[in-house]
Amino acid sequence: MLNPIKVLTVGHSKETIESLQQVLRKQTNVKSAARLLNGHVDPLQGIRELPDVLLLQVGQNWENELAALNVRPPSLRPTILAMGPSNDPNLLRRAMKMGVRDFLTVPIDEAEVITALKQIQEEKRSAQNPVPQRITAVLNAKGGSGATLLASNLSTFMAEKLKLRVALVDLDLQLGASALCLNLSPKTGIGDALSAADEVDSAALRGYMTHHGSGLDVLANVPHTVIEPTTVTPNQVDHLLTVVAQNYDHVVVDLPRSIDSLTLQVLARADRIVLVLQQHLSHLHDAKRLLNALRGHLDDVDNRVTVAINRYEGKGNIGIREIQGALGLKFHALIPNDYKRVCKAEDQGTPLYQYAPSAAITKSLSNLARNLAGVQPVKGGLLRRLFSSQQTTQ
């Protein structure tokens, strides 16, 4: 059992601090303390017992206060939650670059505070029971094959049902839709994280993430923002991916359909590559070209690729044996066609395991998620036909 999380509230307003203390005193798993800033720039000046979480009220001198905290080594720096106005995107962006994990609105929203602390508590629990880190890259063989559908549903299932710390990284910097599929609207995102990649550490990373109700953290682009890939370097991607992988059990990367220095940086590090295609000649043609390109650039491709046939139909235009022969790979997941249900779930921003838990498509995706996470898939009569035995041998 975890010890109570230690929370220190620091600020300039006695009224705000007391309001927050009233919320914290109700929580049995929180040990809270508070202090008014009395002229010290360092909010932890004179504090002997380091808290797990520092709730810092944003004041006129907040940048100097954060700078003082960042001078401390990571081992002597608690998780920082800032309290203040959330209507200033420049303030939010600068604060998160300086290590603030998240912003809490003032006046205090009790539910918002409790949710933030519960997530930190859960991360402490997971850190005590670590699992091997994994990186799964998902990409389309042909545009529109369903990679984002798979990436968002696989990652939310791993987070909520398998109780893993999971990050979904949308590296489609121009047309990424992972956040939209999950009904999320990031205030800060992957563009900000990449621009500050050399400075991003575990504390700062949290500020760029958008939290989903499943427990998943999403690193995606801010809505209506387009990032030119030429402005991002492979080193920035590599450093950011390293920090993300250090903080999560499983990282799912939704990649654009391209072979360039950025995608190859991710694919070279991926434990598994999920290649998504459908039963059409054009999909098969592009899948073969893509695989050949990957084989020319990367090592051990055939042992890392998991082929996912989306919108699978037993009487499809191209049969399984034809696709197997063309690609030189056996199948690992067949995702049955359920177009209407998928469209409704996506329009609502709801994962399929919540929208249609008993549907065949949900069961197939759930078993693929288990396999990618290293958990034995659940098998039944239908799933034996939809799920290849090759999954458990890779």
Per residue of the chain (394 residues), what is the pLDDT tens digit?
457 899 999 988 888 888 889 999 988 889 999 988 877 788 888 888 889 999 998 878 888 888 888 888 777 788 888 888 766 767 777 777 777 888 888 888 888 888 888 878 877 766 665 556 799 999 999 999 999 999 999 999 999 999 999 999 999 999 899 999 999 999 888 999 999 888 888 878 888 999 999 999 999 999 888 888 889 999 999 999 999 999 999 999 999 999 999 999 999 999 999 999 999 999 999 999 999 999 999 999 999 999 999 999 988 788 888 888 899 887 678 999 999 999 999 999 999 999 999 999 999 999 999 999 988 765 544 444 444 434 433 3
Residues contacting residue 176 through CB under 8 Å, at least 6 positions apart: 148, 170, 220, 221, 254, 256
CATH number of 134-393: 3.40.50.300
Alpha-carbon distances of 298 from 213, 291, 292, rounded to whole Å? 36, 10, 10
Q: Strand 250-254 to strand 272-277: parallel, antiparallel, or no bridges (unpaired)?
A: unpaired
Cβ distance 332 to 394 under 8 Å?
yes
Radius of gyration of the chain (CA): 23
Q: Which two tokens mark 389?
A: 């035995």
Cβ distance 31 to 4 under 8 Å?
yes
Q: Is 340 exposed, middle or buried (0-12, 13-18, 19+ CB in 10 A)?
A: exposed
pLDDT for the residue 127 = 62
Question: How far is residue 155's CA from residue 102's CA, in Å, rounded to a whole number?
Answer: 22
pLDDT for the residue 27 = 87
Topology of domain 5-128 in CATH is Rossmann fold (3.40.50)
Amino acid at 227: I
Cα distance from N-terminal residue to C-terminal residue, the chain: 35
pLDDT for the residue 215 = 94
pLDDT for the residue 42 = 86
Stretch(es) of the chain classified as CATH 3.40.50.300 = 134-393
Residues contacting residue 372 through CB under 8 Å, at least 6 positions apart: 134, 136, 154, 158, 250, 272, 274, 306
User: Could you tell me where the DSSP H helices lie in 98-230?
Assistant: 110-128, 147-160, 178-181, 190-195, 202-208
Amino acid at 273: I
Question: In the beta sheet, which residues pair with residue 31?
Answer: 6
Stretch(es) of the chain classified as CATH 3.40.50.2300 = 5-128
Q: Strand 100-105 to strand 166-170: parallel, antiparallel, or no bridges (unpaired)?
A: unpaired
Question: How far is residue 84's CA from residue 87's CA, in Å, rounded to a whole number?
Answer: 9
Strands (E), the chain: 5-11, 30-36, 53-57, 79-84, 100-105, 134-140, 166-170, 210-211, 217-219, 250-254, 272-277, 305-312, 333-336
Q: Strand 210-211 to strand 272-277: parallel, antiparallel, or no bridges (unpaired)?
A: unpaired
Amino acid at 225: T
Cβ distance 58 to 85 under 8 Å?
yes
Question: How far is residue 221's CA from residue 308's CA, in Å, rounded to a whole number?
Answer: 26
Question: How far is residue 218's CA from residue 166's CA, in Å, rounded to a whole number?
Answer: 9
Residues contacting residue 346 through CB under 8 Å, at least 6 positions apart: 149, 181
